[in-house]
Structure 1
Amino acid sequence: METIEPSQQNSTEDSQELKAWIFDIQRYSINDGPGIRTTVFFKGCPLRCLWCDNPESQYQLPQLFYFESLCTKCHRCIPVCPNNAISVGPDNSVITNRELCNACGTCTEVCPNEARVITGRLMTVAEVLEVIKQDAPFYRNSDGGMTASGGEAGSQPEFLTELFKRCRENGIHTTLDTTGHVKWDTLEKILEYTDLVLFDMKHIDPTKHKELTGLDNNLILENARKIAQSGKPMWARFPLIPGCNDSNENITAVGEFVFDLGLKQIDILPYHRLGTGKYERLDMEYPLPDAKPYTEEQLDEIKFRLESTGLEVRVA
């Protein structure tokens, strides 16, 4: 990952060319919309879902990933830190004071083992589009395209709108993977250049939704209704999390809400633990340490309950 200088963090408004904070671009993706796709992951998200598998997506500015298993405790990073954020800890370990660290990347330049990496890069529309266009033949042969995800891609709306517009000009199908927590007037402008919306449905009850994500779902449900009424193609997706939103009551309520939108199917996104290592790299505690992935039998039962609401159900 390219090192980002502190001066770049405030350069978005000064530059004539739109820029956005991106933490990953995943090529040959097959789970973020139809066909083969390139998924662009935007930094910044209004929600704080307990099960978030990309915690580096929540904060919009760059952050430091520390891979402790790669660290040889050479301590080269300590004297070069301009903020004195790095020190020696117990057993000669390396400790980073996250309150002092501004992810300037100076320490990453001297680390011989890439144990310290900056996640988050300021990119222009042209730079992102250049990566997307590399797989254009695969999009054409598979009815694929590009997907904007996050975080919440809608948190950087001007860039996203321009990127989608440029993709459209190049004949590339655009998909927005969204939390739904975006002001409607902002979302409406993005949708003008959006071919498909992937809309996450986490919980129907607003109080429970706030407990699980930090915010209620009033705006989210309202946006889901408006998108459905607009006729814009939309796929409903249901992140299924043990002990959080998998009660029979909520499963049925989610299914009925999606059915009432006029949609015919819903995708289940079963809980997994693939993102737990990222919390360690950010010195964050994982909020669901005891949660376990579902068995096939459990997923079959949930699938059957959703199907009883009249929907076709796919398990991702």
Structure 2
Amino acid sequence: MSKLTIFDLQRFALHDGPGIRTTVFLKGCPLDCIWCHNPESKSMAPQLGFLAKNCTGCGRCAAVCKEKVHFIGNTREHKIAFEKCRGCGACVKACPGHALKLYGEEKVPEEILEIVRKDRDFYERSGGGLTVSGGEPMMQFEGLKELLNKAKKEGFHVCLDTCGQAAEKQYREISEVVDIFLFDYKLTDPEAHRRYTGVGNERILENLKMLCETGQDVYLRCPIIPGINDNEEHYRAIAELSRKYQKFRKVNLMMYHDMAKGKAQQIGKNYGLKEVRTIEEARKKEIYQKVAELGCRDLEES
């Protein structure tokens, strides 16, 4: 039986496909987006997280850590050598103030489905189901396939949230057990895509075309990042794609928020957009209006 490394599981999710859903977040991603909203999802390995405001400086974490990751000074200042951490979780268990967290837990598909089954009545009433997100779920393809096969056999509606950067063969195979693909469209220009995400968008666009042309239902999800893709060229490309592919059931504009700054700090990482702020409501309305004026089909406000 395959195992999946998850970093979060959210019940009663409302923005990850139709209806009320349970969203499972898998670790690992082939992209390195400078604005990533879930920096704890990028690595496949378990990662230590530290919430400084909860730390009392008691030193119990340092006492149990064999790798000497934690150092508590005379003033009870807590310093962490994140690069030494091996993800054993001993310090997390020892911490009385819940200042430490381990992002990355292995579960077999059956363990995940045990949680999913609890809300079957809500799915049936709302048209919801299971969504698998990330990171990039296709990074754990064999475990993902096993999970989704089991979910479909039990009659669950399935959404897969993907960046599109995986082998076409895998998308063709997994499409048999996916009802809706939540497909990211991040940047129009290939060079800009490479600069801000670490990879070009050629394979991504090819996979998007294949899914649409083979009849898969798709929600196009477009993160809008100030100073990077909040421009008319990109908005026009979104509108053109919506008209080109009739299998788009919805186009979602996902406005940038800066909560990831704190997340990156918690895992000892630098965040690339330190000066960029959350898109405010007035600007959000302007962007929606502009994309609508450019002829975007099935645009949905969120």
Counterpart of 1:283 in structure 2 is 268
* Residue pair 2:190, 2:200 contacting (<8 A) in 1 also: yes
- Maintained 8 Å contact 2:242/2:296: no
CA contact (8 A) 2:257 2:277 kept: yes
The answer to whether structure 1 residue 260 and structure 2 residue 244 are counterparts is: yes
Q: CA deviation at 1:165?
A: 0.9
Equivalent residue, structure 2, for 1:146:
130
Confirm whether residue 219 of structure 1 aligns to residue 208 of structure 2.
no
1:231 alignment partner, one of 201, 206, 215 = 215
Give TM-score, length-normalised by structure 2.
0.95
Give the equivalent residue in structure 2 for 1:313: 299
Aligned residue among 164, 188, 191 for 1:180: 164
What is the identity, as a one-letter code, of the residue corresponding to 1:73? G
State the TM-score, normalized to the length of structure 1. Answer: 0.91
Give, in whole Å, the separation in 1 of the partners of 2:83 and 2:73.
16
- Which consecutive unaligned segments of at least 5 residues does structure 1 have? 1-16
**1:81 aligned residue:** 65
Q: Distance in 2 between matches of 1:90 and 1:233?
A: 59
Deviation string, structure 1 residues 153-178 (Cα, Å, up to 9, x no partner): 11111111111111111110000011
Matched residue count: 300
Conserved? CA contact 1:270–1:315, under 8 Å: no
Native 8 Å contact 1:25 1:39 kept in 2: yes
Contact 2:34 2:197 in 1 (8 A): yes
**Given the superposition, is the C-alpha separation of residues 287 and 310 from structure 1 closer, same or farther in structure 2, using an over 3 Å criterion?**
closer
Q: Which residue of 2 aligns with 1:168?
A: 152
Give the aligned residue type for 1:312. Answer: D
Q: 2:54 aligns with which of 62, 70, 78?
A: 70
Structure 1's 97 and 32: CA in aligned 2 closer, same or farther, altered over 3 A?
same
* 1:38-53 to 2 correspondences below 5 Å: 38-53=22-37
210, 218, 226: which one aligns with 1:242: 226
CA distance in 2, matches of 1:218, 1:68: 41
SS of the residue corresponding to residue 92 of structure 1 reads coil
* Residue 11 (structure 1) aligns with: none
State the match for 1:136 in structure 2: 120
In 2 relative to 1, CA 137–68 (structure 1 residues): closer, same or farther, beyond 3 Å? same
Shift of 1:97: 1.2
Matches within 5 A, 1:73-112: 73-89=57-73, 91-112=75-96
Return the offset for 1:90: 7.7
Judged with a 3 Å threshold, the aligned counterparts in structure 2 of structure 1 residues 32 and 61 are, in CA distance, closer, same or farther, namely same
Secondary structure at the residue paired with 1:192? helix
| 3-state secondary structure, aligned to 2:88 | coil
Aligned to 2:174: 190
Any idea what the Cα deviations from partners look like across 1:247-293, whole Å, max 9, x if unmatched?
Answer: 11111122212321223641111111233221121111221111122
Runs of 4+ in 1 over 4 A off after TM superposition: none
Task: Name the CA distance, whole Å, in 2 between partners of 1:237 and 1:274.
Answer: 19
What 5-or-longer segments of structure 2 have no aligned partner? none
For 1:254, give the aligned amino acid.
I
1:273 counterpart (258, 263, 269): 258
**Is residue 283 of structure 2 the alignment partner of residue 301 of structure 1?**
no
Q: Which amino acid aligns with 1:132?
A: V
Secondary structure (helix, strand or coil) at the match of 1:203 reads coil
After superposition, what is the alpha-carbon deviation per residue over 1:48-71, rounded to whole angstroms, capped at 9, x for unaligned?
111111111100111111111111
CA contact (8 A) 1:203 1:254 kept: no
1:3 counterpart residue number: none
How far residue 135 of structure 1 moved from its aligned partner, in angstroms, is 0.3
- Structure 1 residues 105 and 295, CA gap change in structure 2 (3 angstroms): closer
Instruction: Please tell me whether the aligned partners of residues 58 and 76 of structure 2 are also in contact (alpha carbons under 8 angstroms).
Output: no
1:201 maps to amino acid:
Y
Amino acid at match of 1:301: E
> Secondary structure of the residue that 1:134 maps to in structure 2?
helix
Identity of aligned residues (%): 37
Q: 2:194 aligns with which of 185, 206, 210?
A: 210
Residues 120-131 of structure 1 aligned to structure 2 (within 5 Å): 120-131=104-115
What is the CA-CA distance between 1:191 and the residue it aligns to?
1.0
